Amino acid sequence: MVNSYTKTQIRKITRRFGLIPLSSDSIGSLYRKNAVIQVQTESGTYALKPFFRSLLLRSNTIQQIKTTADYMQLLINSGFSYMPKWLTSNSGTLWTLNQGRPFYMSPWIKGRKLEKQEDFEELGRALATLHQISSHFPHAKGPFTFKQIQLWQSQDRLFRRRMAKAIQTNEPNRKWYKKYGKSCNRLSERAWTDLRSPEIVDLLEKERARTALIHNDITTPNVIISDEGQLFIIDWDHMKVGSLYVDVAKSLMNTTQYNPDFNLSLLKGYEEIYPLDRIERKLISSLYGLPQEAWHATRFPNRPRSRKMLDIMEQTWLLRLKATDLLAEWTNQ
Residue-wise pLDDT tens for the chain (333 aa)? 345 788 999 999 999 999 999 999 988 776 677 789 999 999 999 999 999 888 777 889 999 999 999 999 999 999 999 999 999 999 999 999 999 999 999 999 999 999 999 999 999 999 999 999 976 666 677 789 999 999 999 999 999 999 998 888 877 788 999 999 999 999 999 999 999 999 999 999 988 877 889 999 999 999 999 999 999 999 999 999 999 999 999 999 999 999 999 999 999 999 999 999 999 999 999 999 999 999 999 888 888 888 899 999 999 999 999 999 999 999 988
Q: What is the pLDDT of residue 168?
A: 86
pLDDT of residue 322: 96
Provide the 3-class DSSP secondary structure of residue 284.
Answer: helix
pLDDT value for 121: 98
**What phi-psi label fits residue 230: left (phi over 0), alpha (psi between -120 and 50 degrees) or beta?**
beta
In the chain, where does the domain assigned CATH 3.30.200.20 lie?
7-61+85-108
Distances (CA, A) of 8 to 41, 46, 100, 328: 15, 17, 16, 55
Q: Quick check: helix, strand or coil at residue 5?
A: coil
**What residue ranges of the chain are covered by domains with CATH 3.90.1200.10?**
117-331
Counting every residue, how long is the chain?
333
What topology does CATH give the domain 117-331? Aminoglycoside 3'-phosphotransferase; Chain: A, domain 2 (3.90.1200)
Choose among 191, 167, 183, 177: nearest CA to 246: 191
Q: What is the pLDDT at residue 31?
A: 64
Residue 45, beta-bridge partner list? 40
DSSP 31: S
- Pairing verdict, β 111-112 and 101-107: unpaired
Sequence-distant (6+) residues with CB within 8 A of 324 are: 187, 285, 288, 289
CA distances from 154 to 5, 55, 106, 143, 149 (A): 39, 18, 38, 17, 9
The CATH fold assigned to 7-61+85-108 is Phosphorylase Kinase; domain 1 (3.30.200)
Give 223-226's long-range contacts (Cβ < 8 A, gap of 24+).
Answer: 223/113, 223/114, 223/123, 223/255, 224/109, 224/110, 224/111, 224/112, 224/113, 225/111, 225/112, 225/113, 225/114, 225/115, 225/119, 226/109, 226/110, 226/111
DSSP conformation class of 232: E
- Residues 18 and 20: their CA atoms lie apart, in Å, by 7
Specify whether the CB–CB gap between 222 and 301 falls below 8 A: no
Cα gap 225→240, rounded to integer Å: 24
| Cα distance between residue 190 and residue 193, in whole Å | 5
Strand partners of residue 233:
223
Which pLDDT score is estimated for 135? 65
Contacts of 274 (CB under 8 A, 6+ apart): 128, 131, 132, 244
- What three-state secondary structure class fits 226? strand
Determine how many CB atoms are found less than 10 A away from the CB of residue 180.
19
